[in-house]
């Protein structure tokens, strides 16, 4: 259940951050060019990222938890950095695969952007998962 809550929170927060970063204020817009508003961009981001978070993200999260199951639980920092590295790697790979599946192109600039977005999305999910776990314990 906490993974579903985390996926939902991650989707909404990622959409808000992405929309905020790529919002073009009215004063900087070109005439006769349509720009998506903040809300419209957020909706589109949610539509495209929710399936990735809910299908791929939850499965990868379960897989990562299985992989680090044997790591010494006494060393919290060691566990944290191992999980951070695995989530980061998974995010980069998912961003790359997402680009290939939906856009059928492998240009270096696009690969860099999608890998960076995947990295940001996976780290957001990981840290929100840690936060949700902390609140669940209380």
Query: Is the confidence at residue 72, as pLDDT, over 80?
Result: no
Q: Band the pLDDT of 138: cuts 50, 70, 90.
A: low
For residue 101, is pLDDT > 90? no
Would the pLDDT of 112 be above 70? Answer: yes
pTM for this prediction: 0.85
Contacts of 93 (CB under 8 A, 6+ apart): 118
Closest CA to 15 of 48, 61, 56, 62: 48
For residues 46-54, give the mean pLDDT: 89
Average pLDDT over residues 122-132: 93
Tell me, what's the pLDDT at 105? 67
- Share the mean pLDDT of the chain: 87
* Average pLDDT rounded to a whole number, residues 21-30: 81
Given its phi and psi angles, is residue 8 left (phi above 0), alpha (psi -120 to 50 degrees) or beta?
alpha
């Amino acid at each position: 259940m906490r993974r579903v809550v985390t996926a939902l929170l991650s989707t909404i927060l990622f959409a808000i951050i992405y929309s905020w970063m790529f919002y073009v204020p009215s004063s900087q817009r070109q005439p006769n060019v349509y720009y998506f508003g903040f809300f419209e961009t957020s909706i589109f981001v949610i539509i495209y990222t929710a399936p990735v978070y809910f299908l791929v993200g939850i499965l990868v999260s379960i897989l990562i938890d299985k992989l680090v199951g044997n790591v010494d639980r006494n060393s919290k920092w060691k566990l944290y950095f191992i999980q951070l590295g695995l989530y980061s790697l998974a995010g980069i790979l998912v961003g790359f695969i997402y680009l290939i599946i939906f856009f059928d192109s492998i240009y270096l600039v696009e690969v860099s952007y999608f890998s960076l977005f995947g990295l940001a999305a996976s780290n957001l999910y990981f840290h929100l998962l840690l936060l949700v776990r902390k609140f669940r314990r209380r």
